[in-house]
Amino acid sequence: MTPRSQWWGSFLILTLLAGTWTFVLEGNALGEQDLLDAPSSPTQKFDADLIDQVLSSDYFEDDKEAAKDAPSPPAGSLPVQPEVAEEVEEEVTTSKNPFCVGCPMEVDVDDDKIKEMAGFAFSTHLSGFDDLERAQRMVRVVNAMTQVVAGQKYILDLEVGLTNCTKAQHDLDKEQCAMDPSEDTFICNFEVVEQSWINNKEVVRSNCKREKVSRREDGDDDEQDDYDDLEQDGDIVGDGDTTLPTAQKQPKSLRRKRDVVSSPSPPSPPVPILGGSRDAEESTEKLMDLAKFAVQQLDTIDADDDARLVMEVLDSKKQTVSGWMYTLKIRVAHTTCKEGEEVTLAKCKDKIVPPFRVCSVKILFQPWQEVQRKMTESQCLPEKAYYKKKQGKKIAKQLDLYKENEVNKKQKLHRALGGFHEVDVKSSELVELVNFIVESIDQQSNAMHAQKLVKIVAAQRQIVAGMKTKLVVELGYTGCRKNPTLDKSQCEIDNTREHQFCNVTVLEQPWLKSKQITHSKCGPRESMFLDRTKRSLSLFHIKLEKDEGVNQKEFQSFMDMHGKKYESREEYTYRLGVYMENMKKAKLLQDNEQGTAVYGSTAFADLTEEEFSKHYLGLRPDLRQGTKKVKTAKVPYLSSLPDEFDWRNYNAVTPVKNQGMCGSCWAFSVTGNIEGLYAKKYNKLMSFSEQELVDCDTLDEGCNGGLPENAYKALEKLGGLETESAYPYDGKGEKCSFDASKAAAKVKGFVELPKNETEMAMWLVKNGPISIGINANAMQFYMGGVSHPWKFLCGKKSLDHGVLIVGFGVHTYPYLNATLPYWSVKNSWGEEWGEQGYYRVYRGENTCGLAEMATSAVVD
């Protein structure tokens, strides 16, 4: 070793000792652990291995002599092993000096500087895999090391997971994206070099491999083994989705290019599973609280009012996702205690009705959400021999269930003969029945798009004069329009729309070849249980947090402004929850707005998406008749378009109307078009009857929706359109009372306009207002301005509202020297909505699909 390196090593030793003596001189002779626990920075931290080597090195000559006289280790302790150098892949340089100048040093993963570098590495170099559409998110820093190079090198292992957002959505608003608990996390390795004197940092190496997760192989899960023993012995019926925790692929260890002197030590603890399940470390009280929560949710969705009782938590696992996912196995007893009452062992031990059941549940805990705990999965199966194991016997003795009383015997008999029993939701015997239910519900629905099964939430059966089955099913809307020949297997569920939950009862009588739905009720998750008296706070009850007062104050202002009243406290609470969720949607629109629109608390802010669609939209492209080619409008050539044009300035547009809670938007769009064409042709503005179309157009479905091109055909066949005063609007589908002698306008066909918005504007200037279909996603919360939402928030494929283009213009930004072209659109929700009943929407990009279905009548 050179004198220079010897001096450098001695200097490091003295520096270390000086730090140690400083602690002593301050008045407390700190131990080795205290020294290790002292606060440090990424580049200044005492390493345990380093201290061991210093204390055992030949820099302390007296230590070797002292070691000769040291007493022998006590009996039973580990024998002292000869010092052996650990194998390394690179060339090993042995030296009298135990220090490695310039080698990587482990540092605290929670240090602010490490977090900064991890964030830089992730955001700079981990834009995602080319074959993945979803965005990724860093979960945590797993390992961190620093190394002095020409600057400072940071060697980082990061745990990364997939979110439920696309990359585009994540770039727009990452706060709306959550980790996907169904996907496994993986490890990415980075090396970052920072050269602070030139204000430069750079990722010099990155390695990310998305490996499949592997099963644990250590076989040390004693609780799982006990459960497997029960299943093997026939004590319980195993559930098919119970598996051992999975282990993520571990990162390669970072090696140091130096001798590591081994010393006797106990076996290393198991390596934690990154992103995988692990034993829950929570207290018994916390796990029992989670188990009771799960059982309350099971009680909420079942058909009876009998309460379940948690007997024991058999197994508990925890996984870090976007929050924490708890997987519990719970021994549960049915009782005759009533739901809503206090259900305890002391109060209900004489009311237990065997057999016990073993329930596997998953609970997602997200403390930052309004609803902090959600049960995402559940499955309960009967336990066959619940007294066989010692634990089961102990509980049975405690409850004195060896001596069943007469009440329990009668209840057990009642359950066995004629009572409901739970059915495995994964049972193949439910497949055909559920398909029947989904098709029936879909046929009864007024929605434009077909629904598809997401999952069966719960199922029970009862033997009557046939077989009665009660189910709770979750349905999702697809992007496919309903038609008799639709193959739903080709349709993807649109997860941007709210799912429906349906309580359905089906009676099957095979000998009569009969299968009928005797009861069904569908709605959003929250509304399904509003009429149930048994819950005060249930799974679907909106939980109010510390900001309850603020939310309620805003909601009260909304109610006062729009004259809202609710019949019960439950309805008020439910509407408050819907309002809060809708304000999140409005914020999402506002945060991503490309124009000048303002979104907020409109009169529709307390309605769910389905309620809003049913009562205030109504465009039904699925009602199109046949495939006959539609006549295309002839577009007049204009050498130039004016900057603005509006038929309201030419007395060709009637005042804004209100369709009320009737899905008749299509009729208002058509009459508005005819009113403008008639005014231009005859120089006389008249208001025509929407009610005539609602009542007499047999090609459409009145308040349940319609299609402008069908309406044109119906008017041509009927013989004309009466005025508003002759056939006034009442917003209800009634018997047709059309009087041909009172028909004021005659229709002799219709035309379809091109999808080019410049040509649409030319046609409008020369002919009149245009009937269009539009996606109304942005309209529910629109308050004013030029609306220009991103396509992923308002696409062209989901046209659900009929409106009328009456003109166009250009919004200018004087200070920015920029312009924003727009269409002026007449709506049918009254003058209180939007800009005195009008909607300004960006012109030039087929915003919200406004150019997809542009049509006009041909007036005789």
What phi, psi does 115 have (nearest 5°)? -65, -40
Taking Cα atoms as reference points, which of 296, 44, 269 lies closest to residue 146?
A: 44
Pairing of strands 838-842, 786-787: parallel
- CA 349 → CA 61, 311, 335, 345, 408, distances in Å? 73, 10, 8, 5, 11
- CA 403 → CA 214, 310, 397, 739, distances in Å? 48, 21, 9, 82
Structural element, H or E, at residue 374: strand 373-382
Q: Which of 189, 662, 827, 848 is catalytic?
A: 827
Catalytic residue at 665?
yes
Taking each helix axis from N to C end, the angle separating 569-591 and 548-562, rounded to the nearest 10 degrees, works out to: 90
- Answer whether 248's CB lies under 8 Å from 275's CB: yes
Q: Write the CB contacts of 352 (distance below 8 Å, at least 6 apart in sequence).
A: 309, 333, 334, 335, 399, 401, 408
The CA-CA-CA angle for residues 160, 165, 167, to 5°, reads: 80
Q: Write the CB contacts of 860 (distance below 8 Å, at least 6 apart in sequence).
A: 746, 747, 748
Q: Write the CB contacts of 643 (distance below 8 Å, at least 6 apart in sequence).
A: 809, 810
Quote the tokens at residue 209: 């491999």
Q: Which of 665, 696, 703, 794 is catalytic?
A: 665
What phi, psi does 555 have (nearest 5°)? -65, -35
Q: Write the CB contacts of 801 (distance below 8 Å, at least 6 apart in sequence).
A: 617, 618, 619, 665, 773, 774, 775, 776, 779
Token pair 């188990």 is found at 291
Taking Cα atoms as reference points, which of 276, 225, 219, 221 lies closest to residue 247?
A: 276
Taking Cα atoms as reference points, which of 330, 323, 335 lies closest to residue 291?
A: 330
Alpha helix (H) ranges present in 217-343?
222-232, 284-301
- Answer whether 772's CB lies under 8 Å from 854's CB: yes
Residue type, 437: I
Token pair 């495995």 is found at 424
Pairing of strands 818-826, 770-774: unpaired
Taking Cα atoms as reference points, which of 614, 616, 622, 611 lies closest to residue 449?
A: 622
Catalytic residue at 827?
yes
CA distance 224 to 240: 14
CA distance 715 to 704: 19
Q: Write the CB contacts of 581 (distance below 8 Å, at least 6 apart in sequence).
A: none
- Answer whether 455's CB lies under 8 Å from 712's CB: no
Q: Which of 164, 348, 801, 848 is catalytic?
A: 801
What phi, psi does 573 have (nearest 5°)? -65, -40
What phi, psi does 4 have (nearest 5°)? -65, -45
Residue type, 278: R
- Dmax over CA atoms of the chain, in Å, equals 125
Q: DSSP for 438-463?
A: HHHHHHH---SEEEEEEEEEEEEEEE
CA distance 320 to 378: 19
Catalytic (active-site) positions: 665, 801, 827
